[in-house]
Chain A
Amino acid sequence: NAGVMQNPRHLVRRRGQEARLRCSPMKGHSHVYWYRQLPEEGLKFMVYLQKENIIDESGMPKERFSAEFPKEGPSILRIQQVVRGDSAAYFCASSPLRGARNGQPQHFGDGTRLSIL
């Protein structure tokens, strides 16, 4: 069974460009979570999605950031007009059901390390 697949592993963008980060959940998982890990800081929740629905985006910056999880294909975290402060590791996790309430742990991907020049 393939785990959670994130690509690319490393992404370099110049200020003002767009960054697209992809996450393919584990087979059979319909819940996806995105987290951001800033340098020297802990992980922070960004957004929780189910297929075709954003359930909770309370951790997403109000501007430039968006996320989707279409019926077919991976979940995408999109950052428009990137700035230096967006440099971070972005992790995706998936679960088959809604988290611990159903006794399901989250499975994490290896992350995408985004560097802004």
Chain B
Amino acid sequence: KNEVEQSPQNLTAQEGEFITINCSYSVGISALHWLQQHPGGGIVSLFMLSSGKKKHGRLIATINIQEKHSSLHITASHPRDSAVYICAVDSNTGNQFYFGTGTSLTVIP
């Protein structure tokens, strides 16, 4: 079993829809990260959070430490949001950084 599980694996949405991507983890963490990866491109860090909620533009990330769960929300989705979204956790023991397998999002105009 992976230390980080994401769902759904693939997601297709109409432009304007509200999108939620979920992440569950099984290890103790010092922080959780949401990353964005475009096809053939690099990785951009969207959020780093250890508690509560953060908002940046149309993106919102929440984390529940007790339940070991985080969600990434995209409001008013747009085709340019199409990418792979990756959840990653910074372990609080050792130096490991564990990644989910990603959620591939396609937003259709």
Chain A residues with CB under 8 Å of chain B are 33, 35, 41-45, 48, 55-56, 58-59, 91, 93, 98-101, 105-111
Contacts and interface: CB of A to CB of B under 8 A. Distances in A.
Main secondary structure of the interface of B (DSSP, over half): strand
B41 interface: yes
Contacts of A101: 30, 90, 92
B44 A42 contact: no
Nearest to A111: B42
Interface of B: 2, 30-31, 33, 35, 41-45, 48, 50, 86, 88, 90, 92, 94-102
Contacts of A41: 101
A111 B3 CA distance: 23
A45 B43 contact: no
Contacts of A43: 86, 88, 99
B90 A99 contact: yes
Contact of A45 (B33, B97, B101): B97
Contacts of A48: 95
B43 A108 contact: yes
Contact of A100 (B31, B41, B86): B31
